[in-house]
Structure 1
Amino acid sequence: MVSTITVKQATFDLLRAFGIKKVFGNPGSTELPFLSDWPGDIDYVLGLQEASVIGMADGYAQATRNAGFVNLHSAAGVGHALGNVFTAFRNQTPLVITAGQQARSILPLQPFLFAERASEFPRPYVKFAVEPARAEDVPAAIARAYYTAMQPPCGPTFVSVPIDDWTKPAQAIEARSVTRELSPDRDAIRGLADALAASQHPAFVVGPGIDRAQAVELMVRLAEKTRAAVWVSPFSARCSFPERHPQFAGFLHASPGQISEALRAYDLVVVIGAPVFTFHVEGHAAIFDGATTLFQITDDPEAASVTPSGASIVATMKPALAALIELTPATKRTLPKGRVLPAAPQAADPIPAEFLLHSLGVAMPDGAVLVEEAPSHRPAMQKFMPMRGADSFYTMASGGLGHSLPASVGIALGRPDIRTVCLVGDGSAMYSIQALWTAAQRNLPLTVVVINNEGYGAMRSFSQVMQVRDVPGLNLPGIDFVKIAEGLGCDATRVTRSSELAGALKRALSHDGTSVVEVMVDSTVPVLYERKA
């Protein structure tokens, strides 16, 4: 006999069965029936604005490799959240996002706080969206949203729930096992293995899909067996290869000309866990002219469909890499030359960003995680803060600011046994600064380093690339991050001289709880791409 319980009870039973231990939210009136009599075994994580809520859930989901569960406030809350929903979609982060809706009986009257065509609002940046036709369908819709979110390529899903549904009767839903690995076509992998065996100068381009799939160790084994150079795909949001490894060649720019030049010496390029390729500026991509053989391994059929050249193998990372290691013969080709790390930058005043980044890399404790959102300083970070590999680095894949500060809170919640470090620009920090409150309230082991160059550095750089002048809105004077952080409950300090930096970082990284270090740096920014011809 099938037992009848409430929609709310059925939903919480599902969350427990799925291993979901936290719900991220910002409450509103249309969510109160869901929030009432909250169970003690599920932690409600309060964020002070919905973009921060989504960012925290995104970081937590990436850290725990399980879907983050989110509860938002009707249409207004979903609207606030959409920027970071877009980022979660680009990050391929599994999220189940629920939002309140007005009572079914008054929906025809367009009541206050109702969401018109609610399931359409977050599209196309969710994999699945629904407002169930009946209250008793809500638990099944949430189960479907979970399975869909967790299926590679992962991503956010959305369920709109009317306020009066939670107390209605429903049947219990039993959680099911749904496999997530997809084996590659054996003949296709054999063809790639043959191409690797025949190649004189092969290179791998690794993307975030490898680290997401916990396949970094397999990637290292494959690179060492094939003695190939390893590059990082443009805008990779994770670290999928140890950056001190002797075969590590460097980072590809999101410029067609620069990518083509970097890969010109290779007769075979294999892109794994990334698109082919992500561009940010225009230009001729000579890499597609036919001189270089291209292969791609991706778990995303859409990414395979837009690849302009070469062969794509659609499979998840672990079985694909394992099969490729098995089928590829050992080789005696000469090891490629890896990149040479630059000398440590010199201290100066005002503080050079490079000196800050090198100092932070030296000061970070073993096992610490870096979450970054400082786009104009990313090239310097890549030079002076080499990442160790698996689960060591996170950033946003979308280009939208406001993700990484709340994501660092979520990662600290998911990995409370290590120190999480958030490296964020002053412009980026202001998008979701209220996430600091959640971190402080929970005394999380989080250190936020704000690179303050008093402006939008990436836009200053692009002004040089595009050769445009007198662009308004690029300067951000007068923001006091120490006062803001202290007002939100954090330990905070400002560094203006290079001689103060090491001591401030050491103190902040050992602080019991959440700390903020604001570092005033030289306002000079690098040119991120080649200048427009």
Structure 2
Amino acid sequence: MLQATAPRATDAAPSATDLRPTVREVVLDLLRGFGIDTIFGNPGSTELPLFLDFPQDFRYILGLQEAVVVGMADGYAQATQNAAFVNLHSAAGVGHAMGNIFTAHKNRTPMVITAGQQARSILPFDPFLFSGQATELPKPYVKWSIEPARAEDVPLAIARAYYIAMQQPRGPVLVSIPADDWSKPCEPLAARTVSTESRPEPRVLGAIGDALDAAERPVFVVGAAVDRDGAWDDVVALAERHNAAVWIAPMSGRCGFPQDHRLFMGLLPAMREKIVALLGGHDLVFALGAAAFTYHVEGQGPHVPPGAQLVQLIEDPGTAAWTPEGTSAVGGVRLGVQDLLARPAPRKRPAPPLRAARPRAEPSALMSVPYVMQTLAEVRDALSIVVEEAPSSRAAMHAYLPILHSETFYTMCSGGLGYAMPAAVGVALARPEAKVIGLLGDGSAMYSIQALWSAAQLQLPITFIILKNRRYAALQEFAPTFGFGPEDKLEGTDLPDLDFLALARGQGCDAVHVADAAQLHQVLRDALAHPRPILVEVDVA
């Protein structure tokens, strides 16, 4: 038989004279210490206590759906190089956001996600809109998740979450917070300095350096971590030192090398046999800030050309662990490349053959995607930022819209749609001095079209370009891999009757349609100079 006991004095609620700051006040001060003054969210009832007496030095960025919220936060975090702070609504809001939480995980984007929870006193009764397994819901796509045992522990949990999110490999974390915790008194907590990166082990990095020096025909495969880690210039210097050919890694969410450089060769496809063929003739393959390799379809045979050695520098020990062969150094890419540059200069090698020039794309009655990309390249500032989600147009983009500078290209590493439109809003918030171009397919745009409303409300001069081919072209082009013939109908891939001009204007954005190749240059020039957000709907073949 269980016997009830009287509450101890220490279990009593704090007195009305408790002069300690509240959890809300301590958390906001902690965020200030982290350099965070922006909260991305779509609030529900359990989040309202956070916004009582909302401070004037913070701004709240509203998204009309949680996938938009997380997408905006992702773009903002990548562009500011600091963790974004996100506020979601309990289980339903986290569920809506999961697609872009998965993308943030793959993008290695630092993000502190707070999720509302019902008041502690009613949690035993399965209340309406509570999260029964709040810490499990976002797994495995967060680095860490917690629902603190006490209200007083919330600031410590958020501090720990921030430090974990910022440590390499970076990524999202989640803290579930009961609604009544925000008003409880607690002890102040100051932000600390915590190391966020590590140097690769000298012995392993030395072996990679020796292999580089000994190679006759080295090739670099550059991944998203190069640009994420600020290693662009160092990688260019290392490639020039070794006269190494350079490819961009398959499905890379960032560009880590100037695509007009004499050593640049192109973008690798996510297919094993094609990667091996394109890297043929090289005796050393150096995967820099990249997996070796990301595949999209089943393949067979070797992972690198016969006779070639594979070496890797990566910040993610998990990626290093599954790399199928070779030597992997784990640590910060920028620090590792700087250590390689500190070695004695290697012997001179001949430069690899120059990449063949692409023929110009010509105008046609129904514009080709290469022609649109070529035209955009001609009219945009090379320092403008492209945020892309047009999977079927990616090959044409890499061929005709070269990325020339660090931190001027973002896409998703996950393959999950719904990222780029809100991410463009986040990047524009973080980089008001730069022109931001959202480059999207019509199918991709519909996953998070509500981001246009946020762009309009914030008066961000983003140019959204919709490549309208009225279908899920990537799926139709992929279908032969699974046995579809030219006469076989692929269900669910046609997208007739979408009016993006109406969708944009209905959310407060300006919009223009172009179908004539003769008008494209001027339409794009005007759109890029437009002082408000504008959507350009382009009919393409």
TM-score normalised by structure 2 residue count: 0.95
| 2:34 alignment counterpart | 18
| 1:151 alignment counterpart | 167
| 1:203 alignment counterpart | 219
Query: AA paired with 2:528?
Result: L
Stretches of structure 2 lacking an aligned partner (at least 5 in a row): 1-17
Instruction: Pick from 290, 308, 316 the counterpart of residue 274 of structure 1.
Output: 290
CA contact (8 A) 1:129 1:159 kept: yes
Quick one: structure 1 residues 328 and 371, their matched pair in 2 at CA, closer, same or farther if it must change by over 3 Å? farther
| 1:511 alignment counterpart | 530
CA contact (8 A) 2:382 2:405 kept: no
Query: AA paired with 1:490?
Result: C
Quick one: structure 1 residues 328 and 188, their matched pair in 2 at CA, closer, same or farther if it must change by over 3 Å? farther
CA contact (8 A) 1:441 1:489 kept: yes
CA contact (8 A) 2:40 2:60 kept: yes
Instruction: Pick from 409, 434, 437 the counterpart of residue 421 of structure 1.
Output: 437
Kindly report which structure 2 residues correspond to 1:426-465, keeping only aligned pairs within 5 A, or say none. 426-465=442-481
| 2:13 alignment counterpart | none
Kindly report which structure 2 residues correspond to 1:461-480, keeping only aligned pairs within 5 A, or say none. 461-468=477-484, 469-480=488-499
Name the SS for the 2:438 alignment partner: strand
Deviations for 1:393-430, whole angstroms, at most 9, x for unmatched residues?
00000000000100000000000111100100000000
Instruction: Pick from 49, 56, 62 the counterpart of residue 40 of structure 1.
Output: 56
Deviations for 1:7-36, whole angstroms, at most 9, x for unmatched residues?
000100011000002100001111111112
Kindly state the Cα deviation for residue 103 of structure 1 after the two structures are TM-superposed. Answer: 0.5
Q: Are positions 1:490 and 2:509 aligned together?
A: yes
CA contact (8 A) 1:3 1:172 kept: no
Deviation larger for 358-367 or 128-137: 358-367
| 2:208 alignment counterpart | 192
CA contact (8 A) 1:482 1:518 kept: yes
CA distance in 2, matches of 1:332, 1:361: 35
Paired positions, count: 521
CA distance in 1, matches of 2:145, 2:428: 29
What is the root-mean-square deviation in Å for CA atoms of aligned residues? 1.2
Deviation larger for 467-476 or 99-108: 467-476
CA distance in 2, matches of 1:456, 1:38: 43
Instruction: Pick from 16, 20, 30 the counterpart of residue 4 of structure 1.
Output: 20
CA distance in 1, matches of 2:142, 2:344: 38
Kindly state the Cα deviation for residue 365 of structure 1 after the two structures are TM-superposed. Answer: 2.0
Query: AA paired with 2:458?
Result: R
CA distance in 2, matches of 1:389, 1:284: 36
Deviations for 1:249-271, whole angstroms, at most 9, x for unmatched residues?
11111001000101121100010
Query: AA paired with 1:511?
Result: H
Kindly report which structure 2 residues correspond to 1:26-425, keeping only aligned pairs within 5 A, or say none. 26-288=42-304, 291-425=307-441
Name the SS for the 1:327 alignment partner: coil
Kindly state the Cα deviation for residue 389 of structure 1 after the two structures are TM-superposed. Answer: 3.0
Kindly state the Cα deviation for residue 328 of structure 1 after the two structures are TM-superposed. Answer: 5.0
Query: AA paired with 2:497?
Result: G
Query: AA paired with 1:309?
Result: E
CA contact (8 A) 1:227 1:331 kept: no
Kindly state the Cα deviation for residue 467 of structure 1 after the two structures are TM-superposed. Answer: 2.7
Kindly state the Cα deviation for residue 366 of structure 1 after the two structures are TM-superposed. Answer: 3.7
CA distance in 1, matches of 2:304, 2:351: 25
Kindly state the Cα deviation for residue 349 of structure 1 after the two structures are TM-superposed. Answer: 1.1
| 1:521 alignment counterpart | 540
CA distance in 1, matches of 2:203, 2:31: 40
CA distance in 1, matches of 2:232, 2:497: 43
CA distance in 2, matches of 1:290, 1:137: 56
Deviations for 1:177-199, whole angstroms, at most 9, x for unmatched residues?
01122112222222212111111
Query: AA paired with 2:465?
Result: V
Quick one: structure 1 residues 225 and 288, their matched pair in 2 at CA, closer, same or farther if it must change by over 3 Å? closer
Kindly state the Cα deviation for residue 203 of structure 1 after the two structures are TM-superposed. Answer: 0.5
CA distance in 2, matches of 1:289, 1:503: 46
CA distance in 2, matches of 1:288, 1:166: 54
Kindly state the Cα deviation for residue 502 of structure 1 after the two structures are TM-superposed. Answer: 1.0
CA contact (8 A) 1:372 1:394 kept: yes
Name the SS for the 1:169 alignment partner: coil
Superposed structure 1 runs of 4+ greater than 4 Å apart: none
CA distance in 2, matches of 1:180, 1:72: 26
Asked which structure has the greater CA Rg, the reply is 2
Name the SS for the 1:319 alignment partner: helix
Give aligned-pair identity as a percent: 49
CA contact (8 A) 2:258 2:264 kept: yes
Quick one: structure 1 residues 458 and 182, their matched pair in 2 at CA, closer, same or farther if it must change by over 3 Å? same
Query: AA paired with 1:515?
Result: I
Name the SS for the 2:186 alignment partner: strand
Kindly state the Cα deviation for residue 465 of structure 1 after the two structures are TM-superposed. Answer: 2.8
Kindly state the Cα deviation for residue 3 of structure 1 after the two structures are TM-superposed. Answer: 7.7
Query: AA paired with 1:341?
Result: A
CA contact (8 A) 1:87 1:397 kept: yes
CA contact (8 A) 2:280 2:305 kept: no
CA distance in 2, matches of 1:54, 1:146: 16
CA contact (8 A) 2:513 2:536 kept: yes
CA contact (8 A) 2:279 2:305 kept: no
Quick one: structure 1 residues 290 and 498, their matched pair in 2 at CA, closer, same or farther if it must change by over 3 Å? closer
Name the SS for the 1:372 alignment partner: strand
Name the SS for the 2:465 alignment partner: strand
Query: AA paired with 2:25?
Result: Q
| 2:7 alignment counterpart | none
Query: AA paired with 1:59?
Result: G
CA distance in 2, matches of 1:369, 1:426: 20
CA distance in 1, matches of 2:172, 2:344: 36
CA distance in 2, matches of 1:459, 1:318: 37
Deviation larger for 320-329 or 509-518: 320-329
CA distance in 2, matches of 1:33, 1:462: 48
CA distance in 2, matches of 1:480, 1:425: 13
CA distance in 2, matches of 1:340, 1:422: 29
CA distance in 2, matches of 1:47, 1:385: 30
Name the SS for the 1:287 alignment partner: coil
CA contact (8 A) 1:75 1:115 kept: yes
Deviations for 1:17-65, whole angstroms, at most 9, x for unmatched residues?
0000210000111111111221110110001000000000000000000
Kindly state the Cα deviation for residue 227 of structure 1 after the two structures are TM-superposed. Answer: 0.8
Stretches of structure 1 lacking an aligned partner (at least 5 in a row): 523-533
Deviation larger for 408-417 or 195-204: 195-204
CA distance in 2, matches of 1:84, 1:62: 14
CA contact (8 A) 1:418 1:445 kept: no
Kindly state the Cα deviation for residue 289 of structure 1 after the two structures are TM-superposed. Answer: 7.2
Kindly state the Cα deviation for residue 330 of structure 1 after the two structures are TM-superposed. Answer: 2.9
CA distance in 2, matches of 1:290, 1:68: 44
